[in-house]
Amino acid sequence: MKTFRRILGYARPFSRFLPEYMLWALLAVVFGVFNFSLLIPLLNVLFGNVEVPQNLEKPAFQLNVQYVVGLFNYHMYGLIKNRGMEFALYFICAIIFCFILLANTFKYMAQRVNTRMRVTLLKNLRSHIFRKYSELPVAYLNNQRKGNLINLIGNDLQEIEFFILQSLESLFRDPLLIIGFFIFLFSISKTLTLFTLIYLPLSGLIINAISRRLKSGDGLKLLGSITSLTEETLSGLRVVKIFNAEKFVQNKFEALNTEFRNYLKNWLNKREMASPASEILGVLSAIGIILYGGHLVLSGDTGLNASQFITYIIIFSQILSPAKTMANSISYLQRGLAAGNRIFEILDTEIIIEEKQNPVRIEKLQEEIRFDKVSFSYGDRRVLNELSFSVQRGRTLALVGPSGGGKSTLLDLLVRFYDAESGCISIDGFDIKDLKISDLRHLFGMVGQDTILFNDSIFQNIAFGKENATQEMVERAARIANAHEFIIKTEEAYQTRIGDRGMKLSGGQRQRLAIARAVFRDPQILLLDEATSALDTESEKLVQEAISNLMVGRTSIVIAHRLSTIQNADKILVLDKGEIVESGTHESLLARGGMYKRLVDHQSL
């Protein structure tokens, strides 16, 4: 039940909900039980089995059922004596209606508190999950299926709402209701009530055996796989169509969908078994009570009369409903707890990129960025091998070389998406692991080959992360990035929504928006990762001009496959298999006639 307690912990402090809920629930139970206690006098009046005492005495106050029954009988006998049996019947019916009205009013008030707690708990849990997503290291997210992560904040939370939070009411209220009914049953006949308790342990064992088979972790994983495949197919629909792979992805989806259907069918069959099992047990219990209670009434030895026995049967039948609800709730909990375990598996994930307790604060780059014997591996594959180099403030460093040489990894290490296995990366002499992470990343602006835009307006994409941005500031950034001209031609200019991942824009337009976003941030260090690699000639010219505008006065580290774009770099490093094989300016590297010259010659063909 650790998972259950952790889920409820998101509704803390419980003082906002629990006392009020318990008050309304208790009042609803009390008036509900008292309402059924009126059946005995009602039946006695209908059967004409009422003997009015000669001397009526009002009972002394006691906090128990007998006092309430005695007080009611005192008033009822007085009415029968003064007004007759028919008026007493009206009186009993009026009291029953009032008790039902009060019981349901208090039940509704308890439900309102429960609803308030549910929505608060879900809000807090959803916020915690999203906050964890934003804090998780890139390395962890790269090893996860996006569909599974989306499923957690969608379907898994629905599982918790439907199968845990909807069960809370029955788990809190129904035990009180059952206890209240049993108190009254004991007041009617201790012998008969003790007899009924024989059946309850047997019912509980059978329902518990069924409930333990209803865990649904595998089903939720399958649903996550379905979500992930759907998201991948929609994102790569162009590729699917151009490769005529519609049938392939359809078959893949059908296999997952069929597996999930078979799992769900088996799970539902097991779940539905709990309801008929509890109902059959309830009927067997009722038959046993009728046989034994009928014997007690007919023998006349226990003081149990017909009106009391009929009332007893009616009240016992009311116990079956909350008992059945509790049994179903226990079985439902298994599915909700499986979802909770999946959620807490993510929430408990360790943040690998840790910040020191008293980090060094840094506001700007003063001198240089330095890599000193830096090594890094992805699992067993060594990507960087003791790299050492530096970038002076205001200079441009270009990284070139074959794919897989470790160029992009260098940038990821610099902004601490990953941490180096050995060696040191420093800024102005400070190890970046000693710096406050938010200060470190505030120094950088990044434009990559995979342009990441959001389904929002152009304005919000350029001003991303800054809440008090003005129109003037955004337009200035767009002009520097050569984006203003195409922006004002869109439907709503800067308020135009660009669709999922900016799909309403061309590749060159998306890239210029990404550059405008970097301009708006006004970073001191600019990271460019093949920013023009996927553009046509015209778009490349506009984007390259925008990049040149952005690089003015900044320290820049540029990864480029099109070597014509880095001829003016202050230094060029040629990386191959995680090592620096050449270093120098464009002219000096050409004169050397090594790998760099071969790359240039290859692109000139």
Structure letter (DSSP) for residue 463: T
Section 386-399 average pLDDT: 87
Percent of the chain with pLDDT over 70: 77
Q: In angstroms, how far is the first alpha carbon of the chain from the final one?
A: 68
Query: Mapping DSSP to helix (H, G, I), strand (E, B) and coil, where does residue 367 land?
Result: coil
pTM of the model: 0.65
The DSSP-derived string for 419-443 is: --SEEEEEETTEEGGGB-HHHHHHT
* pLDDT at residue 493 tops 70: yes
Q: How far is CA 229 from CA 139, 149, 259, in A?
A: 21, 12, 14
Under DSSP, the state recorded for 410 is: H
Euclidean distance between CA atoms 474 and 451, whole angstroms: 19
Contacts of 436 (CB under 8 A, 6+ apart): 355, 359, 360, 361, 362
- State yes or no: pLDDT of 411 exceeds 50: yes
User: What integer pLDDT is reported at residue 345 of this predicted model?
Assistant: 77
Q: Does 306 score more than 50 pLDDT?
A: yes
**Banded model confidence at residue 379, pLDDT cuts 50, 70, 90:** confident
- Of the listed ranges 49-53, 331-335, 373-377, the least confidently predicted one is 49-53
Q: Are strands 571-576 and 368-378 parallel, antiparallel or unpaired?
A: unpaired
Q: Which amino acid is at 408?
A: S
Q: Which residue has the higher pLDDT, 205 or 66?
A: 66
Per the DSSP assignment, residues forming a β-bridge with 389 are 371
In whole angstroms, what is the distance from residue 320 CA to residue 285 CA?
10
Q: Is 517 within 8 Å of 477 (Cβ atoms)?
A: yes
Who wins on pLDDT, 382 or 271?
A: 382
State yes or no: pLDDT of 455 exceeds 60: yes
Residues 6+ apart with CB under 8 A from 27: 102, 103, 106
What pLDDT, on the 0 to 100 scale, is given for residue 102? 87
Using alpha carbons only, how large is the chain's radius of gyration in Å?
37
Those residues whose C-beta lies under 8 Å from the C-beta of residue 221, and which sit 6 or more positions away, are 148, 342
6, containing H or E segment:
helix 2-8
The confidence score (pLDDT) of residue 274 equals: 62
Q: How confident is the model at residue 251 (pLDDT cuts 50, 70, 90)?
A: confident
Residue 92 reports pLDDT greater than 70 = yes
pLDDT at 573 over 50: yes
Structure tokens at 250: 């359809």
Q: Which residue has the higher pLDDT, 555 or 146?
A: 555
Higher pLDDT pick, 75 / 239: 75
pLDDT in the model for residue 49: 60
Q: Who contacts 449 (Cβ-Cβ below 8 Å, separation ≥6)?
A: 529, 530, 531, 533, 534
* pLDDT score, position 279: 67
Query: pLDDT, tens digit, for every residue of 360-370?
Result: 888 888 888 89
Q: Which domains does the chain have, with CATH numbers?
A: 2-211+274-347 (1.20.1560.10), 368-604 (3.40.50.300)
Q: Phi/psi of residue 509, each to 5°? A: -65, -40
Q: What is the pLDDT of residue 605?
A: 46
Q: What is the pLDDT of residue 238?
A: 54
In contact, 356 and 349? CB cutoff 8 Å: no
**Weakest mean pLDDT among 441-445, 462-466, 487-491, 544-548:** 544-548
